[in-house]
Structure formats: structure tokens, C-alpha cells
Amino acid sequence: MHANISELVKKANGFSDFNPVQQKALQANLFNQNLVIASPTASGKTLIAELCALDSIIEKHQKVVYTCPLRALASEHYSDFKKKYAGLKVRMALSTGELDSSSKYLSNYDFVFCTNEKLNSLIRHKADWLKEVGLLVVDEVHLLGSDRGPTLEIVIAMMQLVNPKIRLLALSATIPNAKQISDWLQAKLVKSDYRPVKLEEGVFFDNELVFPKRVQTIPSKERDPLSQLADNTLNQEDQQCLVFANSRRNSQSMAKKMGRLTALKLTPKKQAVLERVSQRILTTLEQPTSQCMELAELVKKGIAFHHAGLLQKQRQLVEDAFKKDYLKIICATPTLALGVNIPAFRVIVPSLYRYTKFGNQRISVSEYKQWIGRAGRPAFHVRGEGILLAHSELEADELLEFFVKGELEDIESQLSQEPVLRTHLLAAIATNFIFDLQSLEEFFSKTFFAFQYKNTSALFKQLSTILTELQELGFVKGNEKRFEATPLGKRVAELYLDPLAAHELVQSLKQNRLFSPLTYLFLFVQTKELFPLVSLPKKKESAVLEDSVASKDELPINLERDLYADPELGKKFFTARMLEEWINERPDPLLTEDFNTAPGLLHSKLWVCDWLGYAAFELCQLLGLEKHLPKLGKLRKRLKHGVKEELLSLVEVRGIGRVRARKLWHNNVRSVSELKKMDIKDLSRLLGETIAFKIKQNLGQKTEKTISKTKTAKEQSSLKVFD
């Protein structure tokens, strides 16, 4: 029956035959054993997962889980699979949020796409349906060597304990120690250098693009090297390029520098589409910030920047416009290299250094290879180019030897970091994977760390110390012969909190004092979950510290001590004050300017804050600290909408944000009942006809539409991004 699955997959992907990597996987008994597939980006690894998943679901009647490091990746794979196999009776689900749930509804699905953190959370909540999973597909398994690696190690170990018969299919970029990972997973390694689009790597200096086997002169009227390469790319028919910048600021300045070049290459049709994309970027927030305006203007010129400071909707718009060849260049931070699949003909890396707490440091060869792996679009190009910029002939030679011809680094486990071990040890105890010293050793001996370093005595000594610490914190009870999580420890593990942060949170909530919104926000800012904190400019340090002293009655700390003992105090207070300004309706443009942050970074902090507010609420319920419950409930709603308490009922209506709610309030519409009574014409004069009609519809009220057809068509066209 495997032949039927193979034909089904070929047809869905429009292939007449499988490529060398896929054929190698099929010859390696793909459907009946653990496999690690290690091959370059865009070599067709996902199709191998499709083959394996469909065989498990259709032939073996088993559930499949596809786990990957990022929400965007999980979403992309889910959408792609659903589009290809919509005609099959395969029930598919995407689950990347809600970390405090067993998501019981997922038991009704055959194929679940999720993030590593979500799968970890499902295990912590003892989701029964996980026992029925016959195949676990682990995407980007080489990230075991990153800060996301420990969660992945633990998830794999736990899933093998939940279901000892589970099969593993791990997908990896090309890495030197792929055999070590396959041996750890008791899997067969399928390794290949095959790439459907040939990748040429070179170094550019003094108008010459030097590849290992050839040299190409790049004629251009432009002066700086980056603009020269951009100009050369744009002068080739329908070619695009990605530029990887080492900071958000650099990504924006590079895009501004090259905007005049891309603008010259746009057809009238592309200009019209990009005008609409620009408008959607501009209206993502009710009040656009300077960053929103800057991005919107650049998009009209056929170029964009892409980094964590953008809102998710804006990132999506940029990615979609680039995929459809409306945007010619994206200047991005390296986060794009780990995200969705956005290939281009040429990938340019202007700098191989990034700023860290230890100063400027060179990136690894592996990171560089990950970035340039985006070069070359299958079905569009026969080759792609990855190009480094050099500042001297000597540097050009060195970059060619070290990066282009250089050896990749081995992947090393990151599990031994103490905060990581503390979190995962408590979770393993709370889920009964560990209940005495013997089970502790057995569990951690299954990790990649134990397999890689063999001598684990230092690790077990560290774990023993952490176990004692968890007992002292009140999260674990018992002795060495038998121990278990306390109700509080179990809840902390389920809430996906760092135990130390949870302990500090609980101790602070037990204080006999008045709690204001700023008090709670400062508590949240103290946890590691909200790091990194907002940068505090030197010129503002003294004013911020004065402000903290003036607000000392609201701060849940010993301010006199921490003024001298906590070097992060200024940043903590500055971040907490930013969050307070948000819930007090400080407009987005002013807020991002005052605190020198970007909308995407602000909203990601708000998301984490909401989670911490939920966790605090749950812990207070467990501990009987009822006085906090109404305050935390209101604070979460204010964090979600960015409003003062008086507007909470209005912003619950779909279509009414913080700006419209305040406008209604100033016009004496101060409740949902008053809004319902308001005449549609009056509401239209206040908020505009289209918005007014939508709000009335969302309130369940029937209205006679009076907007002219011409206007409606025009307004609707602005919502459609692409022709």
C-alpha cells in the first residue's frame, strides 16, 4: 500500500518522481523505523514528513504530531499540508497557544501541528491522547544546540516514555554530528548534500564577486558595496534579494538606503498592489507609529525591513508581498532565517558580527550557512547566491576560507544550564516521570546531554542540588527514596513558569500591602519571562530613578536596598512604567517614542504580561489570596486593550479599540447599552460609515445600509492585499 501513498504525495506536489534525498529516505525503510534526515535547506525534507505522516494515518491508523520551534513555522506547515491534502479524510489541527490546557479537543484529530513548547505543555497537562501518537516528526532538530534545545530534548525523552513504541522522524540541516543525534534517537541517518537549486557562495570586495572557482565583476554606478549588489540584482530580470542585518536599526537604515533603487523597478501593477499593502501596514494600529509610517513608505518603493519590532500582521504582509514578487528586497534580522520559507535568488550578509553582552562577536559558520540557505528558489532558479561583504582584500581571503570553505560546528546540548534544569526537573516530577533518585537518573540519562557527554556525574550532582532547592521552595515534598510535587509545584509546572520566578511572585503576592496596577506590573517585570527589559537611555537614568523613589510605596521591593544592590532596577522600573502608560492609554506613537521601543516588542511584552497575570490569578486562587483576583482580572483586560478601567465594557465590542472607545466616551457614549441606542447616522459621523455599520452588526443590530456602492467598493478594495 506504500506505493499508493507515494503516488498520492507526488501528485499533491506536482512531481513526476522523488528527488535523491527522498529516494534515499524511502530506501531506508522510511515507514517502519526511526530516521534522521540531514540535508540542506530546500532539499525536500518536508515532503518526506508528508510521506511518513500519511502512511501512519492512513495505513497504520495512528495519530501524528509535527513539532517545530516557531509558531510561524507550525502555521506554515499546517496550511501547506491542508492545501495539498484537502481531499483526504485526514483531520488536521494547528495548536500553538494556550499553554495551560490539555487541549482535549485535539484527541479528535489525526495530525496535529504544534510548537515544542506547546507539546511540552500538553505533556505537563497529561493529555491522554498523546499515548495514541504513533509518529513524532521533529522539525529543525539541529536546534538542540540553541537556547530552544533543552525543551526539545525533554519533549523527545518524555514522548518516548509516554509511548515507548512511538516512531521518530527528525529533520535537520546539514551538521557534522548528525550521526551522534541519530544514535541518540536510535535512528537510521539519511544524510545528503543534494540541493535542487545550486548554491554559490562568494565574497564581494572592490567590485569583484569572488567565488571559490570563478570571479565575477559587478559593474555599477553605486558607491557602497551593498547598493552595488542590490543594483546588480535588480538589473537581472525578476530577481529578488534578502539582506541579513545584525540589528533592527541597521535593517531599517539599509532599506532606506536602497529604496530609491527598488522604486525604479516597479511596474504600474506592482505599484498599485504595494500601495494597498502599504495602507494595511499603516492601519495595523489605530494610531500608526513612526516605524509603521517608515515601513509603509518603503513598501511603496518595493523594499521592506523585517524584525521583531514589527507587529505580527505587518511581518505577514511583508512576507506575503515578497513571496509574490511585489517586494524586491527585504532587509531582515536573523530571526527571519529561522522563520517561514522565504527564498530569494541572492542572500547578502554585510556583517558577520553581532552585538552581545560580551561586545561584538562573530557568528558561527552554522549560523552563516543557515542564512545563506535561503538563496535560490526551487521552480524559479537553477542557482542561488550567498554573498559576504569584505572591507579589505585580506578580509575577503579570510572570509572565503573561514566561512565559505569552513567547517560547520558540532551541535552541543544546552541542557546543563541551571535555570533550564530547574524548570524541567520540576515538570518531570509534577508529571510523575521522576519520583525517586533512580527514576531521576534514568530519565535524564535519556537526554541528548547524557548521550553526548557520557560522564553525567556532574549533571546528577547538579540535579540533586536543584531537587533540594525545589523542596525548600515548597514545590516538592518527600525524601530521596520517594518524592512528589506539591499542589503548588504541580500548578507552577502546568503554568510553564520558572520555579524561582514563581516563588518570588508568590512571596510578593502574600505581602500585606496595597497593590496598584504598577505593583503587579513591577512584579511581572521582575521575572525572567519578561527579559530582555526595555533599554534605559543614560540621559534618562537619573529621572527614572527619581521617579522610582517617588513611587516607592507602590513597588513590592525594599527600594533603599535595591537602589544599590540591583543594577537592573532602572530598567525594571522603566519597563513597568511603559506597561502602565499603555494601560493608561498613552497613544502608541508617543509610547514607542518615549520608551524607545517598537510596536512589535511592546506587544510581545504585553502578551507575556497577560500570561503572567493569568498565572498570578491561578496561583492566588490556589493559595486563597482572593483579594488579588478582581484586580488581576481587570488588569489583564486593561493589558489586552490598553485602556483605563472606565472603557473596559466598550472595548469588549468587536471593532472598538482604545482610540474609538475614548472617542465614544468623550461623546457621552459610556456603555454598551448606550452604544446600542445610538442612531447609526450619529455613530457614522463619529467613527465613519463603514466602521459604524460593522459595530452595529457586531452588536447584533440590523441596520439599513446607506453607503454608496462606489464608496463600498473602494473601501473593500483597500482590504484586499493582492490581485
Q: What is the DSSP string of 246-263?
A: SSHHHHHHHHHHHHHHHH
3-state SS string over 345-388? CEEEECCCEEEECCEEEECCHHHHHHHHCCECCCCCCCEEEEEE
- The CATH fold assigned to 418-485 is Arc Repressor Mutant, subunit A (1.10.10)
Provide CATH 3.40.50.300 ranges for the chain: 2-191, 198-404
Distance between CA 332 and CA 342 in Å, rounded?
A: 11
Sign, CA dihedral 17-22-23-25, equals: negative
Sign, CA dihedral 114-117-118-120, equals: positive
pLDDT at 381: 83
Edge-first strand order for the sheet with 346-349 is 215-217, 208-210, 198-205, 383-389, 346-349, 241-244, 329-332, 303-306
Whether the predicted pLDDT of 712 surpasses 50: no
pLDDT at 711: 42
Whether the predicted pLDDT of 707 surpasses 60: no
Whether the predicted pLDDT of 442 surpasses 50: yes
Per-residue model confidence as pLDDT tens digits over 401-440:
999 999 999 999 999 999 999 999 999 999 999 999 999 9
Whether the predicted pLDDT of 177 surpasses 50: yes
| DSSP codes, 547-585 | HHHHTGGG-SS-HHHHHHH-TTHHHHHHHHHHHHHHHTT
pLDDT at 163: 95
**Cell numbers 536599526: residue:** 249
Q: What's the mean per-residue pLDDT of the chain?
A: 93
Compute CA distances 664 → 135, 264, 583, 685, whole Å. Answer: 54, 44, 18, 11
Contact at 8 Å (CB) between 605 and 575? yes
Sorted by sequence, the CB contacts under 8 Å of residue 510 that are 6+ apart come out as 623, 625
State the CATH architecture for 2-191: 3-Layer(aba) Sandwich (3.40)
237 sits in the region (left: phi over 0; alpha: psi -120 to 50; else beta) called beta
Strands 215-217 and 208-210: antiparallel
Whether the predicted pLDDT of 718 surpasses 50: no
Whether the predicted pLDDT of 719 surpasses 70: no
Provide CATH 1.10.10.10 ranges for the chain: 418-485
Compute CA distances 31 → 5, 35, 135, 578, whole Å. Answer: 11, 9, 10, 53
> What burial letters (b/e) apply to 517-548, b meaning 16+ CB within 10 Å?
bbbbbbbbbbbebbeebbebeeebeeebbeeb
| pLDDT band, very low/low/confident/very high, at 722 (cuts 50, 70, 90) | very low
| pLDDT band, very low/low/confident/very high, at 717 (cuts 50, 70, 90) | very low
Whether the predicted pLDDT of 624 surpasses 90: yes
Q: Cell numbers of 638, please?
A: 486593561
What do you get for the CA distance between the two ends of the chain, in Å?
42
Q: For residue 86, give the 3-state DSSP assignment.
A: coil
pLDDT at 377: 78
- The CATH fold assigned to 499-642 is Sec63 N-terminal domain-like fold (1.10.3380)
Sorted by sequence, the CB contacts under 8 Å of residue 97 that are 6+ apart come out as 71, 118
**Cell numbers 506592482: residue:** 270
Rounded mean pLDDT, 597-602: 96
Strands 241-244 and 346-349: parallel
pLDDT at 355: 82
Contact at 8 Å (CB) between 135 and 62? yes
Rounded mean pLDDT, 171-192: 96
Contact at 8 Å (CB) between 66 and 49? yes
Q: For residue 304, give the 3-state DSSP assignment.
A: strand
Rounded mean pLDDT, 236-259: 95
pLDDT at 2: 64
Rounded mean pLDDT, 592-621: 96
Question: Which of 306, 322, 320, 298 minimizes the C-alpha distance to 238?
Answer: 322
Distance between CA 277 and CA 388 in Å, rounded?
A: 31
pTM reported for the whole predicted model: 0.93
3-state SS string over 656-694? CCHHHHHHHHHCCCCCHHHHHHCCHHHHHHHHCHHHHHH
Distance between CA 426 and CA 509 in Å, rounded?
A: 22
Rounded mean pLDDT, 311-333: 96
Contact at 8 Å (CB) between 589 and 602? no
Rounded mean pLDDT, 607-613: 96
Per-residue model confidence as pLDDT tens digits over 326-365:
999 999 998 887 767 888 999 999 999 988 777 889 999 9
Q: 198-404 sits in which CATH class?
A: alpha beta
Distance between CA 601 and CA 144 in Å, rounded?
A: 26
